Each structure stands twice: as C-alpha cells, then as structure tokens.
Chains A and B, each alone.
Chain A
Amino acid sequence: MYPGVEVINATVAGGAGINAKAVLKTRMLGGNPPDSFQVHAGQELIGTWVIAHRMEDLTWLFEEEGLLEAFPKGLIDLISTEEGIWTVPLNIHRSNLIWYIPENLKKWGVEVPTTWEEFLEIAPKLQEQGIIPLALGRNWTAQHLWESVALSVLGPEKWEALWEGGLSFTSPEMIKVWDLFGQILQYTNDDAPSLSWQQAVDLVVNGTAAFNVMGDWAAGYMTSTLGLEPEKDFGWAPSPGTQGIFMMLSDSFGLPIGAPHRENAIAWLKLVGSKEGQDAFNPLKGSISARVDSDLSKYNVYSQSAAADWRSNTIVGSLVHGVVANERFMDGFATVMEIFLASRNSQQAAMAAEAIAIQSGISK
C-alpha cells in the first residue's frame, strides 16, 4: 500500500553509546539531526536535549496511541517535564546483574557470591586455579561495575540521595564505595582497557573468568549471538549485595526538532511504542518490554524472571546508562574513573567526583 520508505540504520558502535553520543552531539549542534535517535530515559534525555530545546513534545502521540496507559507512571515521569513528554521508551534493561556458567562454578568449587565480602573470599581460590575471578572491559564497564558496588554499599535510599544532592560524594559511605571497588579490581583481568563488553562476557563463556557484572544485554548477546540457553548454559543473579533491588535503564527514541522526515519518524515512534514492536525487539535484546501489557510467552526464562523482578523489586536508576545524571556529569565521571584506575586513590576519586557533581548541578 505504501510506496516504501528507505530506512537508514545509522549506527555508531560502542557499548553504552559512548561513541554515538559524541557523534550525535556534533550533528545536533550542527543543525543536522537524524529523524529519530536512541537516548536513555532520564537525565541523559532531560538534562541534555530537553533543556536545550532540541526535542519535539510527544504528548499528543502518547494520547493518540494510548501510551499513557501502556507504560508505568514512573517510567513516563523519567521522560517527562512539566512542558511535555519527550521520547517513546522501547525497553527496560537491568544493570545490576552478575553472570556465570553454572557448570564451571561447580567444577571450580565456588558458589555465586551474594555479597562482595563473599566474592573477596572466593576470588583467591579462583586465582589459585588460574581463573580470573571477575571479567572486566574498558572504562565504561568499570563504571558499570562501580555503580553495582556503590548500590550494594549505599542501598537504594542513599543511592537516590546521592543524585538528589542529599549525600556528599566525599562522605564516609562514598569513600567506602571506592575502597571496596579498589579491592574488587584486584581480581579483574589486566587487559580490561582493551576489551569490549562482549569480549569480557566471552571470558566467562569460554571459562577464562568466573563472573562478569553487566546489564542484561549480556543475556541478549549470549542467547541471540552465541546461541546459549539461559539457566542451562549460563546463569545470573543480582550483583552482590543488591538482592531485591532493580537498577533500571530504558532505551527510548525521540523526535528531534528539525527532523528531515518528520512524518516517517512519527510512524517509527508509533512502532517503537507498540506492543507488537516491543515484543519483536526485546526478546532478542535481553531486555523486557516497557509496556505493562507485554506478551511474556514470547520471552525466555531470563526475561520472564526480569519481568517478575521489575514488578516486585525496589527500582533505582542507573548512572552509567543515563537515568540519574546528565551527560556533563557522566563525561566527567569517565575521567574520574580513569584517574582511579591509574591511582587507586579513594580520597582523590571522591573529591574529583564531588567537583564534577557541583559543576553539573547535582551537589550544591
């Protein structure tokens, strides 16, 4: 019926969008926006593109497509300001997960650690057997590990207080986070700076490493790309010390002001928000649908467990994946991580984090 639309799948590779975001910034500031772009729901969207008046309000689309009822209120809050609703969420990912191969753990005589103290106890035993206790990739995956460690030390209330200016980045709790993180780093692979997140997962899959802390896109990678079966071939658990807490992020798509093919972009956004579209995308991605009426029979056992946890756990937002802090803080935090990886100095890292928090309007 339609003459056909040529879809240009413009991708810039790089986990967590580190490279893509830089390219997008250049294009947006240069007056050359794509028709629609991926952005994390939360401060990455609001604190970067919405406050700069670069997005079209999609409230009318939400009303027309029934999306106000389709998504949880808390998620709509993450993509809204008093002036409007700014993107269409495509999925829900969980950040705080630890991945392993059950058969390997059995062979090595270790169990999945439920606390970081337990991990620090079993790590030397793994090392004695020539096994890397915890696989790590480049800088952003270290930040990803850090946020899980921080959540375990702080708990959900203090984690949220940190981003609302209610807890200082130089507080004793935050020094404890950096100290524990430093201890954990002793048990990671030396070549981490050169590895992608997929290569870090590969270390676990091929039996070189015991664990990897990564979001559930790792499940998508292991099932869709490596052909493994959840529960049978690989296992998962909340990252140590975060049982009952779901650190979430959501990929969403928006409509930039000046999109060259606006009508096509609107058709795309309708697909992104639809039940059919979400249930086509998410079973392959390792995420769950952002909609409340998703057909869970289309999802594997991992995703079904994630959907159950999403409904029952305490929900907090991810730092590394754009929920709780704006891009200015995230850019600065990558530098803080670089400093810490080189120095392992908790006080120095805490003070540097506090400085960028003040600069980016998080701490006063």
Chain B
Amino acid sequence: MKKLIVVWFALLAVFGVVWGQDALTGKLEIFSWWAGDEGVALQALMTSTRACILGWK
C-alpha cells in the first residue's frame, strides 16, 4: 500500500511538472531600446542556455 501511495505521488509530481510546462505557450513580447548593435547582448540572453531549456525560440 505504501508503495502504491509513493508511486501515486510520484506520478502526480511528474504530471504536475508537465502541466506546468504546458502553460508556457503562446507569445512573449519583450520591449526595449536595444536594437541593432545594442541588441546583440539581448539576443544572447534570449537564446542562452536556460532559454533553450525553456524551449524559447
């Protein structure tokens, strides 16, 4: 019984993470004055490792 409860909570946790991730869809508008030359660093931030993990493009 204990094992069943552990498995049940583990499944809940996994689905919770997936549902949470699914919420990140749609658009994200970032407004700034960093265009052209000044935009290089912003682009790097947007495509940085963590952004890639989040699945942004």
**Hey, which bits of chain A sit against chain B, CB under 8 A?**
1-21, 24, 27, 34-38, 90, 198, 217, 220-221, 224-225, 253, 260-261, 263-265, 267-268, 271-272, 274, 276-277, 280-282, 284-285
CB of B30 within 8 A of CB of A35, answer: yes
Q: How far is the CB of A321 from chain B (nearest CB, A)?
A: 11
Q: List 5 A-B contacts (CB under 8 A).
A: A7-B30, A10-B29, A17-B32, A34-B30, A272-B45
Majority-rule SS of A interface residues: helix
Most buried by B among A13, A27, A260, A282: A13
Q: Which of B23, B25, B45 contacts A281 (CB 8 A)?
A: B45
C-alpha spacing A138/B50, complex, angstroms: 38
**Hey, which bits of chain B sit against chain A, CB under 8 A?**
18, 21-46, 48-51, 54-57
CB of A264 within 8 A of CB of B45, answer: no
Q: How far is the CB of A243 from chain B (nearest CB, A)?
A: 28
CB of B30 within 8 A of CB of A268, answer: yes
CB of B29 within 8 A of CB of A2, answer: no
CB of B45 within 8 A of CB of A38, answer: no
CB of A8 within 8 A of CB of B28, answer: yes
CB of B33 within 8 A of CB of A35, answer: no
With contact pairs A3-B22, A4-B55, A38-B33 given, residues A281 and B41 touching in the complex (Cβ less than 8 Å): yes
Question: Please, which residues of chain A bring their CB within 8 A of the CB of B48?
Answer: 271, 276-277, 280-281
With contact pairs A225-B40, A263-B23, A277-B45 given, residues A9 and B55 touching in the complex (Cβ less than 8 Å): no
Question: Please, which residues of chain B bring their CB within 8 A of the CB of A4?
Answer: 25, 55-57
C-alpha spacing A284/B37, complex, angstroms: 10
Q: How far is the CB of A215 from chain B (nearest CB, A)?
A: 12
C-alpha spacing A38/B37, complex, angstroms: 17
CB of A35 within 8 A of CB of B28, answer: yes
CB of A261 within 8 A of CB of B40, answer: no
Question: Please, which residues of chain A bring their CB within 8 A of the CB of B49?
Answer: 276, 280
CB of B42 within 8 A of CB of A263, answer: no
With contact pairs A271-B54, A284-B40 given, residues A264 and B46 touching in the complex (Cβ less than 8 Å): no
Q: How far is the CB of B2 from chain A (nearest CB, A)?
A: 30
Question: Please, which residues of chain A bring their CB within 8 A of the CB of B55?
Answer: 1-5
Q: Which of A5, A13, A90 contacts B27 (CB 8 A)?
A: A5
With contact pairs A272-B45, A284-B40 given, residues A11 and B22 touching in the complex (Cβ less than 8 Å): no
CB of A17 within 8 A of CB of B51, answer: no
CB of A6 within 8 A of CB of B41, answer: no
C-alpha spacing A37/B28, complex, angstroms: 11
C-alpha spacing A207/B35, complex, angstroms: 26
C-alpha spacing A221/B28, complex, angstroms: 27
CB of B21 within 8 A of CB of A1, answer: yes
Beta-carbon nearest neighbor of A217 in chain B: B38
CB of A268 within 8 A of CB of B50, answer: no
Question: Please, which residues of chain B bring their CB within 8 A of the CB of A37?
Answer: 30-32
CB of B41 within 8 A of CB of A10, answer: no
CB of A9 within 8 A of CB of B26, answer: no
CB of B33 within 8 A of CB of A11, answer: yes
Q: How far is the CB of A298 from chain B (nearest CB, A)?
A: 12
CB of A17 within 8 A of CB of B33, answer: yes
C-alpha spacing A21/B46, complex, angstroms: 22
CB of A224 within 8 A of CB of B30, answer: no
Beta-carbon nearest neighbor of A28 in chain B: B31
Question: Please, which residues of chain B bring their CB within 8 A of the CB of A280?
Answer: 44-45, 48-49
CB of B31 within 8 A of CB of A36, answer: yes
Known: A7-B57, A38-B34. 20 other contacts (CB 8 A): A4-B56, A5-B24, A8-B28, A10-B30, A11-B42, A13-B36, A18-B33, A35-B27, A37-B32, A38-B32, A198-B37, A217-B38, A220-B38, A221-B37, A224-B41, A264-B27, A264-B28, A280-B49, A281-B44, A282-B41
